[in-house]
Amino acid sequence: MKIGDKVKFVSADDDQVKWGSNDDPRLVLNTDDVYEIESIEVHSWHTKIYLKGIKGKFNSVSFKLV
């Protein structure tokens, strides 16, 4: 994944949200919508993504490229 990529939210579980103190995408995102990656934060064990127009940081494993 890179800045500008389009992604869809697939799913998330409590552990994925808690890992790295991410925000919970289940509360703000819809699995039918397409989002654009605005920023990426790579860590040794996980990657956080920030979405254009959406407040929060999310674990990249909760998304798929479209």
Domain coordinates of the chain in residue numbers? 6-65
**What pLDDT was estimated at residue 32?**
96
Give the predicted TM-score (pTM) of the model: 0.90
Q: What integer pLDDT is reported at residue 20 of this predicted model?
A: 84
pLDDT values of the chain reduced to their tens digit, one per residue, 66 residues: 999 999 999 999 999 888 888 999 999 999 999 999 999 999 988 899 999 999 999 999 999 999
For residue 45, the model assigns a pLDDT of 87
Q: Is-contact 57 38, C-beta < 8 A?
A: no
Q: So what's the pLDDT on residue 19?
A: 84
Radius of gyration of the chain from Cα atoms? 10
